[in-house]
């Protein structure tokens, strides 16, 4: 399809304007077909920017290496350019939208010279669903095109739904590497200076402008930019929720089903939990989504969730048959691998894959050929795979994908769980007393920083309310208020009992030797079973000032966890919580000023009083 065939006048004009600014050699409207997918891969492979893997080992799969400057989200270069600074809030980088557009127009000028401009119409959510939204991404990267094919619904059908005047989110993207006449790419093209990359959002006009990065959430603009930052603003304006949540379907031994949404920060275990294979006999987990949930209340007062994506962009290091067999089985074929190792026999390898690297040598994510490591243990500074190396794979390939995963109606949510990586204080499981208390717990979430952002110090703890700090497109205080408002509306309508029950979990407690106290992964099914029963009112809890903790004996013990360890994992650490309260009050809640909902400040006082009276 070419430009003149576009029926949507607004879209046509915007594409023409963008082409005039970026001056590509050609413009192509993407149709989402397999032929197009294959052609984009061929362009990258022919240019030596990617390698087709051994067809017998990993059919129809490819290996890519990005630039060392371009391996994860760049949070310091992510901007929320709302008209009013106050709408961005203390957790976002704000910049004046007029200034930012001026700067970026300067950068965009001629940035696609020597390349083709791809126009990618995509739907987040099943095409035509009430909850779905349409976006159009303009990009000069074939890598972006085939990844968008996997992660979103791309193609002519989207243009049909858009019609002649439908709404779409305008997403501009360039890798920022124009080519002179005759010049060829010699490696992953991008802007190598991190401080010259831009991931910009204009919430007032629902626009996204990205420049200089070709990797992940910086470049696949349907994902974090549209489905979270812009969608959170749409959700605020239209009364729904766009969250950094997995969605799983949990079936108990009696065949009863509950759907659960789980918000954990980046690289904290959403993909693992979403596809978990329970060790607990009779229980079953099926996957609806592993990263993002869009949720709306139905006419029946129930909250319904869809997964707006249709693929997984999952972390490779640490993924093994032990930690996530479902993911390992999903990526056996038809998968894009970025920034892991390439073996001599044309397969992929990464740290903690569960077996040593085969062959004499291996090519690392930096392109160096080194002797194959004899174990799969990571060696700091000598990683074969980058710690944020990822796979892109269609959701359909997951062996435990739920049959209803792409139902346009969505699935009714019974429970939310929040969590983070915390070595101390935070118990294995804890149930909020009610909606407001649950929102309070979500709002104080802290987690150790992981490698999913390239410009933050991994390891230190930061507050990451609702796992949304990098992804909320507006003021976090207003975001808390939005959650409180939706709960109150449900209660006022007599639907309080249909609100999801809220839980807090922590798989990451460590003992005095720095060893994880809880085996995690498949064993997390024991905690899921506890909260499933809790939703049904089971007498399996003890009331405490921090919430409803598991009653001793109510979570069955994995074989490698002693009763003493379990007791430690579910006990109330009074001194730890007092410190937590002080830290939240001084260093976290203090940032929100008068935008902090009074109900949340009050929760902190009530909890403190409760702890002091013990
Ligand atoms: P994003 O895709 O970045 O949003 O992250 P995610 O939350 O989907 O992260 P993912 O599931 O890929 O988790 C990645 C890391 O968490 C890997 O290092 C896993 O090994 C580790 N992990 C996941 N579940 C557990 C668990 O139960 N216990 C422990 N100790 N580690 C876990
Ligand atoms: C995350 O960082 O939370 C991700 C990966 O899911 S990315 O899409 O790159 O944001
Ligand atoms: Mn994520």
- Give 63-121 pLDDT, tens digit per residue: 999 999 999 999 999 999 999 999 999 999 999 999 999 999 999 999 999 999 999 99
Atom of ligand 2 nearest to the CA of 265: 3
Confidence of residue 588 (pLDDT cuts 50, 70, 90): very high
Residue 448 has pLDDT above 90, yes or no: no
Q: What is the mean pLDDT of residues 331-348?
A: 98
Q: How far is the CA of 152 from the centre of ligand 3 (A)?
A: 15
476-492 and 231-238 helices cross at what angle (nearest 10)? 40
Is residue 583's pLDDT more than 80? yes
568 CA distance to ligand 1 centroid (A)?
Answer: 23
Output the CA 314–ligand 2 centroid distance in Å.
8
| Cα 135 to averaged position of ligand 2 atoms, centre (Å) | 19
Q: What is the pLDDT confidence band of residue 380, given thresholds at 50, 70 and 90? A: confident
Residue 142 binned pLDDT confidence (cut-offs 50, 70, 90): very high
pLDDT higher than threshold 90 for residue 607: yes
For the chain, what percentages of helix, strand and coil (3-state, to nearest 5) are there? 30, 25, 45
What pLDDT score was predicted for residue 173? 98
Average the pLDDT over 455-468 and give the result.
Answer: 86
Probe target for ligand 1 pocket from 215, 269, 317, with the most ligand atoms within 8 Å of CB: 269
Closest ligand 2 atom to residue 220 Cα is 8
- Mutation pick for ligand 1 pocket among 217, 318, 421, 517 (CB with most ligand atoms within 8 Å): 318
Q: What are the CA-CA distances from residue 284 to residues 159, 249, 330 (Å)?
A: 38, 8, 18
Mean pLDDT of the chain: 97
User: What is the phi/psi pair of residue 438, to 5°?
Assistant: -65, -45
Does ligand 1 have an atom closer than 6 angstroms to the CB of 323?
A: yes
Predicted confidence at residue 388, as pLDDT, reads 96
User: Using a 6 Å cutoff on CB, does residue 269 contact ligand 1?
Assistant: yes
- pLDDT band at residue 356 under the 50/70/90 scheme: very high
Ligand 2 mean position, distance from CA 466 (Å): 15
70 close to ligand 2 (CB < 6 Angstrom):
no
Q: Is 216 in the pocket of ligand 2 (CB under 6 A)?
A: yes
With 0-12 / 13-18 / 19 or more C-beta atoms within 10 angstroms meaning exposed / middle / buried, residue 206 is buried
pLDDT at 130: 84
372 DSSP assignment: P
- pLDDT per residue as tens digits for the range 167-203: 999 999 999 999 999 999 999 999 999 999 999 999 9
Dist CA 236 CA 490 (whole Å)? 16
Residues ≥6 apart with Cβ < 8 Å to 468:
228, 232, 243, 244, 263, 476, 479
Mean per-residue pLDDT for 14-29?
Answer: 98
pLDDT at residue 458, rounded to an integer: 72
pLDDT band of residue 453 (cuts 50, 70, 90) is confident
Q: Is 171 designated active site?
A: no
Average pLDDT, integer, range 289-310: 98
Count of other CB atoms within 10 angstroms of residue 609: 10
Pocket lining: 276 vs ligand 1, CB cutoff 6 Å: no
Q: What is the pLDDT of residue 129?
A: 87
- Asked if residue 270 has its Cβ within 6 Å of ligand 2, the reply is no
Distance CA 491, CA 499 (A): 8
Report the DSSP beta bridge partners of residue 430: 504
b/e code 505-526 from CB counts within 10 Å (16+ = b): bbbbbeeeeeeebbebbbbbbb
- 409: number of Cβ within 10 Å: 13
> Ligand 2 pocket test: which of 223, 273, 421 has the largest number of ligand atoms within 8 Å of its C-beta?
223
Q: Tell me, what's the pLDDT at 48?
A: 97
Instruction: Give per-residue pLDDT as tens, 516-551.
Output: 999 999 999 999 999 999 999 999 999 999 999 999
Instruction: Indicate which ligand has the atom closest to the C-alpha of 453.
Output: 2
Whether 2 shows a pLDDT value over 90: the answer reads no
Residue 456 in this model has a pLDDT that exceeds 90: no
**pLDDT bucket at 364, cuts 50 / 70 / 90:** very high
Question: Which ligand sits nearest to residue 289's alpha carbon?
Answer: 1
pLDDT tens digits along 155-173 = 999 999 999 999 999 999 9
Atom of ligand 1 nearest to the CA of 291: 4
pLDDT confidence of residue 450: 77
Residue 73 CB less than 6 A away from ligand 2: yes
| Closest ligand to residue 510's CA | 1
The pocket of ion ligand 3, defined by CB under 5 A, consists of: 266, 291
Span from the CA of 268 to the centroid of ligand 1 (angstroms): 4
* Candidate list 171, 190, 268, 310, residue with the active-site label: 268
Residue 313 CA: nearest ligand 1 atom is 2
Query: Where residue 420 falls among pLDDT bands split at 50, 70, 90?
Result: very high
Q: Is 199 in the pocket of ligand 2 (CB under 6 A)?
A: no
**For residue 401, pLDDT beyond 80:** yes
CB 61 within 8 A of CB 335: yes
Protein residue with least CA distance to atom 10, ligand 2: 217
pLDDT classification of 257: cutoffs 50, 70, 90: very high
Residue 412 has pLDDT above 80, yes or no: yes
Give the model's pLDDT for residue 405: 98
The pLDDT of residue 451: 76
């Amino acid at each position: 399809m070419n430009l003149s065939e576009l029926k949507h006048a607004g879209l046509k004009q915007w594409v023409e304007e963008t082409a005039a600014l970026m001056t590509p050699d050609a413009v192509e409207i993407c149709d989402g077909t397999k032929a197009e997918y294959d052609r984009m891969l061929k362009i990258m492979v022919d240019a030596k920017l990617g390698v087709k893997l051994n067809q017998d080992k990993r059919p129809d799969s490819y290996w890519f290496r990005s630039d060392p400057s371009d391996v994860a989200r760049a949070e310091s270069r992510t901007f929320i350019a709302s008209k009013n600074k106050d709408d961005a809030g203390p957790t976002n980088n704000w910049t004046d939208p007029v200034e930012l557009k001026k700067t970026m127009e300067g950068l965009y000028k001629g940035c696609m010279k020597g390349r083709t401009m791809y126009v990618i119409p995509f739907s987040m959510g099943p095409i035509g669903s009430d909850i779905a939204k349409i976006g159009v991404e303009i990009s000069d990267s074939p890598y972006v095109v085939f990844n968008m094919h996997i992660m979103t619904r791309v193609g002519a059908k989207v243009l049909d739904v858009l019609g002649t005047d439908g709404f779409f989110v305008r997403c501009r993207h360039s890798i920022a590497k124009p080519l002179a006449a005759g010049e060829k790419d010699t490696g992953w093209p991008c802007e190598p200076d991190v401080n010259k990359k831009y991931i910009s959002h204009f919430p007032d006009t629902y626009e996204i402008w990205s420049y200089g990065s070709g990797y992940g959430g910086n470049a696949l603009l349907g994902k974090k930019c549209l489905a979270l930052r812009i969608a959170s603003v749409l959700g605020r304006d239209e009364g729904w929720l766009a969250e950094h949540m997995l969605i799983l379907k949990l079936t108990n031994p009696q065949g009863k089903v509950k759907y659960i949404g789980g918000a954990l920060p980046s690289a904290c275990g959403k993909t693992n939990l979403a596809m978990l294979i329970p060790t607990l006999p009779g229980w079953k987990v099926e996957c609806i989504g592993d990263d993002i949930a869009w949720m709306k209340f139905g006419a029946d007062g129930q909250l319904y969730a869809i997964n707006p994506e249709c693929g997984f962009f999952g972390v490779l290091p640490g993924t093994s048959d032990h930690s996530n067999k479902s993911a390992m089985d999903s990526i056996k074929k038809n998968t894009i691998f970025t920034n892991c190792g390439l073996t001599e026999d044309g397969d992929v390898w990464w740290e903690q894959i569960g077996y040593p690297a085969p062959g004499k040598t291996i090519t690392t994510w930096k392109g160096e050929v080194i002797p194959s490591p004899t174990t799969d243990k990571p060696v700091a500074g000598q990683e074969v795979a980058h710690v944020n190396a990822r796979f892109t794979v269609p959701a359909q390939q997951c062996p435990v994908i739920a049959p209803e995963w792409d139902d346009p109606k969505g699935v009714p949510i019974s429970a939310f769980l929040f969590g983070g990586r915390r070595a101390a204080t935070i118990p294995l499981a804890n149930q909020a007393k009610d909606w407001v208390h649950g929102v309070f717990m979500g709002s104080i979430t802290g987690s150790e920083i992981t490698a999913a952002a390239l410009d933050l110090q991994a390891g230190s703890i930061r507050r990451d309310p609702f796992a949304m700090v990098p992804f909320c497109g507006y003021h976090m205080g207003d975001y808390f208020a939005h959650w409180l408002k939706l709960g109150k509306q449900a209660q006022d309508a007599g639907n309080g009992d249909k609100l999801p029950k809220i839980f807090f979990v922590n798989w990451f407690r460590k003992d005095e030797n720095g060893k994880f106290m809880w085996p995690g992964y498949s064993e997390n099914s024991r905690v899921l079973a506890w909260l499933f029963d809790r939703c049904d009112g089971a007498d399996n809890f003890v009331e405490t000032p921090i919430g409803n903790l598991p009653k001793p004996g109510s979570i069955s013990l994995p074989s490698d966890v002693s009763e003493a360890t379990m007791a430690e994992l579910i006990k109330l650490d009074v001194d730890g919580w007092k410190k937590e309260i002080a830290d939240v009050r001084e260093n976290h809640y203090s940032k929100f000023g008068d935008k902090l909902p009074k109900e949340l400040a009050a929760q902190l006082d009530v909890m403190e009083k409760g702890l002091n009276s013990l």
